[in-house]
A = this chain, B = another copy of it.
Amino acid sequence: MTTATSTPARPAPPGGPAPTTMAQAINRALRDAMAADDTVHVLGEDVGALGGVFRVTDGLTAEFGEERCTDTPLAEAGILGTAAGMAMYGLRPVVEMQFDAFAYPAFEQLVSHVARMRNRTRGSLPMPLTIRVPYGGGIGGVEHHSDSSEVYYMATPGLHVVTPATVADAYGMLRSAIASDDPVLFLEPKRLYWSKETIDLSSPPACEPLGRAVVRRAGTSATLISYGPSVSVCLEAAEAAREEGWELEVLDLRTLVPFDDETAAAAVRRTGRAVVVHEASGFAGPGAEIAARLTERCFHHLQAPVLRVTGFDIPYPPPMLEKHHLPGVDRVLDAVARLQWESDHTEGGAA
């Protein structure tokens, strides 16, 4: 079932900087994209009158009509499959999967068709689809409402996989995703929907293009590498780390596929130590690829192995226990402490 918010994502006023939630920024990005390009169609469960269970599509049907923002029957393979057909006709569908775990019924359509149609047809049938998936935990959702499913998509060639960590990025990256001629998994960190920034959506701030990672905080001691919902945890950890005498750099990957090797490797080489942080389970999770490829590229700069702070290798836990599962500041700092610092080793030696 659906743990919905009843607070509508009312769009920010049209002009001037205003406090804006991520849900509002996404809503605005959809509106602006639909207004700018009449081939953009939104479809999914409850995206119409209800405005989506997170109110992200609020007002779109009212403004653009049922044909542009359509409540579909309840069938995710059908949603993605028909959207693929619409894309074959030249439209730019934006599909909403209501929750991460409810995208699984569409897995075959995604892997066997959406990801491969361009290739199979030598570009004759590109798939300019955006698939919006609210993902991750931290909102007290009951089972099947908090999966971090990004690695399934990362492991599927032909897809782009992106996820914003800031309100401004949510706007800018979604506009870019919709404009992309390739299928983009646009993963929306559920627990950031209500995060706020003061921005002016009538002249949206410039945003790095998809495919670029961004350093959110400079540092010299070690690099925290993260994305989506875990970036703020890393920033907090970096703040707290000052007490320990560490200056941590925080990298927001933004795009998981294609991976920004250049920026990420540079960040790791700068500090020689790195911790990857994400909510998804660790085993064969996103951090595995990140750690492996950065180690390949930066081996001789590393003072310690790239460590991972991730969710446990268990089914996503229930509301009452999720705090133990989610990587928090302490667990990040613990990992940083294990990066084989000299002072530490002296201690270690004395112990």
Contacts and interface: CB of A to CB of B under 8 A. Distances in A.
Contacts of A101: 108, 111-112
A74 to B, nearest CB: 13
Nearest to A150: B284
A292 B294 CA distance: 10
A243 interface: no
Contacts of A312: 157
Contacts of A154: 283-284
A302 B302 CA distance: 12
Contact of A315 (B116, B287, B293): B116
A314 B315 CA distance: 29
A19 interface: no
A77 B155 CA distance: 22
A284 B295 contact: no
A291 B283 contact: no
Contact of A314 (B108, B119, B284): B119
Contact of A151 (B155, B293, B307, B315): B155
A304 B302 CA distance: 11
Given A288-B288, A288-B289, A306-B292, A281 B111 contact: no
Interface in A85-116: 101, 104-105, 107-108, 111-112, 115-116
A287 B281 contact: no
Given A112-B144, A295-B291, A155 B104 contact: no
Interface in A115-141: 115-116, 119-120
Interface of A: 77, 101, 104-105, 107-108, 111-112, 115-116, 119-120, 143-144, 151-152, 154-155, 157-158, 257, 259, 281, 283-289, 291-293, 295-296, 299, 302, 304-308, 312-315
Given A119-B314, A284-B284, A291-B291, 12 more contacts: A101-B111, A104-B111, A116-B315, A151-B151, A151-B155, A154-B283, A155-B283, A157-B315, A283-B289, A288-B289, A291-B296, A295-B306
